[in-house]
Amino acid sequence: MIWLAIAIGGAMGALARYGTTQAVVSVSGTTLASPIATLMVNIIGSAIMGACYGFLAGGGGFSEPMRLFLMVGFLGALTTFSTFSLDVIMLAERGQVILAVLYATGSVVVSVSIFLMLYSLFRGLGSVG
Pairwise CA distance, residues 25 & 6, whole Å: 28
Say how far residue 103 (Cα) sits from the centre of its chain.
Answer: 15
In a domain, 87, yes or no: no
In a domain, 101, yes or no: no
Is the entire prediction scored with pTM above 0.85?
no
Q: What is the pLDDT of residues 89-110, one digit of tens each?
A: 999 999 999 999 999 999 899 8
Q: Has residue 123 got a pLDDT over 80?
A: no
In a domain, 24, yes or no: yes
Helix H segments across 29-96?
33-57, 64-67, 75-78, 80-93
What is the span of the domain harbouring residue 23?
2-78
Domain count, the chain: 1
Write down the pLDDT at residue 128: 61
Q: What is the pLDDT of residues 19-76, one digit of tens each?
A: 988 898 888 877 667 778 888 888 888 889 889 888 888 888 889 999 999 999 999 9
